[in-house]
């Protein structure tokens, strides 16, 4: 049977782009998103590539819903080979001392706890079946400090720690875990953030040596390589894909 991938946040942006790119490699996809309509849209696009796909609606900040998407993937496909642990939110963009505790809890719940729950349940299945590959979505804000996104940045730094520590514990069991650190990228989430904070888009693009934002398709190429490539000795890396943005910091 073909390999199977779970992609969280698969209804749009990086998740949808990765689903479509991995489908080109013949990978069957479980599309996980909090929005059912978005997940179903990606499923239809993936099926047009000639592979099988299912949609699972889940709020990743709830561990029982994370376990549900893992269980439903196993029930349908019988295996999990790849995991793009991607779901996340950016927050309002306000300064930290102006941020309500409820927003802090929401961002941490989705970005960090959601990612940790995902790795917890998916890695368990992978190791029991001889191994697998995981890519976690960090951010440029996960490798440097950035203003207006303190909570987001803290969660994305946490993703780096999760990635490296999982390799320290479980590489011997056939698990590969890497992280990507995208810079500002033209996803719906980023577009919404910049619409609410227009001055930040100008500042971001101006600070990128390539003088443009990245595209989801460019990130999807990296994700697909890290998950499916025969280059199996890449493990525990945090790979920046940001047009040189963090290189200048």
DSSP codes, 107-148: HIIIIIIHHHHHHHHHHHHHHHTT-EEEEEE--GGGTS--TT
| Res. 3 pLDDT band, cuts 50 70 90 | very high
Query: Is the C-alpha dihedral spanning 32, 38, 41, 46 positive or negative?
Result: negative
Model pLDDT, residue 196:
76
Residue 132 corresponds to which tokens in the numbers above?
């697998």
Q: What is the pTM of this model?
A: 0.95
- Digit-coded pLDDT (tens) for 82-133: 999 999 999 998 999 999 999 999 999 999 999 999 999 999 999 999 999 9
User: pLDDT tens for residues 159-211?
Assistant: 999 999 999 999 999 999 999 999 989 888 777 777 777 776 666 777 899 98
pLDDT at 93: 87
Q: What is the mean pLDDT of residues 202-229?
A: 90
Judge whether residue 225 has pLDDT over 80: yes
Of residues 160, 212, 154, the one with CA closest to residue 181: 160
Structural domain boundaries enclosing 111: 4-248
Least confident among 28-32, 66-70, 198-202, 228-232: 198-202
CA gap 179, 226 in Å, rounded: 9
How far apart (Å, rounded) are the C-alpha atoms in residues 163 and 73?
22
Start-to-end CA span in the chain (Å): 45
Q: What is the pLDDT of residue 203?
A: 67
Residue 31, φ and ψ in degrees, nearest 5: -95, 115
Residues contacting residue 176 through CB under 8 Å, at least 6 positions apart: 131, 132, 133, 134, 167, 232, 234, 235
Q: How far is CA 54 from CA 14, 51, 61, 150, in A?
A: 18, 10, 21, 35
Average pLDDT over residues 207-233: 95
Q: Residues 122-155: pLDDT tens digits?
A: 999 999 999 999 999 999 999 999 988 999 999 9
Average pLDDT, the chain: 95
**pLDDT recorded at residue 207:** 84
Q: What is the mean pLDDT of residues 49-66?
A: 98
SS3 at position 29: strand
Q: Is the pLDDT of residue 244 over 80?
A: yes
Asked if residue 224 has pLDDT above 70, the reply is: yes
- 177 DSSP β-pair partners: 134
Question: What percent of the chain clears pLDDT 70, i.e. is strictly above it?
Answer: 97
Count the domains in the chain. Answer: 1
Q: Which of the residues are catalytic?
A: 152
Domain containing residue 209: CATH number: 3.40.50.720
Burial class (CB in 10 A: 0-12, 13-18, 19+), 163: buried
């Amino acid at each position: 049977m073909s390999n199977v991938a779970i992609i969280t946040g698969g209804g749009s942006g990086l998740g949808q782009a990765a689903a479509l790119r991995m489908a080109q490699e013949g990978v069957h996809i479980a599309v996980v998103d909090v929005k059912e309509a978005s997940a179903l849209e990606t499923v239809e696009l993936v099926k047009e590539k000639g592979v099988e796909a299912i949609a699972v609606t889940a709020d990743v900040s709830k561990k029982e819903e994370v376990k549900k998407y893992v269980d439903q993937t196993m029930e349908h496909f019988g295996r999990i080979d790849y995991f793009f642990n991607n779901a996340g939110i950016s927050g309002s963009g306000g300064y930290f001392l102006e941020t309500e505790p409820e927003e802090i809890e929401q961002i941490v719940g989705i970005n960090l706890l959601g990612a940790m729950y995902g790795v917890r349940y998916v890695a368990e299945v992978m190791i029991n079946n001889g191994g697998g590959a995981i890519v976690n979505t960090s951010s440029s804000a996960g490798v440097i400090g950035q203003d207006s996104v303190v909570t987001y940045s803290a969660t994305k730094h946490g993703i780096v720690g999760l990635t490296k520590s999982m390799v320290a514990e479980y590489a011997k069991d056939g698990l590969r875990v890497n992280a990507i650190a995208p810079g500002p990228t033209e996803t719906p989430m980023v577009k919404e953030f910049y619409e609410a904070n227009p001055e930040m888009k100008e500042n971001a693009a101006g600070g990128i040596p390539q003088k443009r934002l990245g595209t989801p398709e460019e990130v999807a190429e990296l994700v697909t390589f890290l998950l499916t490539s025969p280059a199996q000795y890449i493990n525990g890396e945090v790979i920046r894909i940001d047009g040189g943005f963090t290189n200048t910091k």
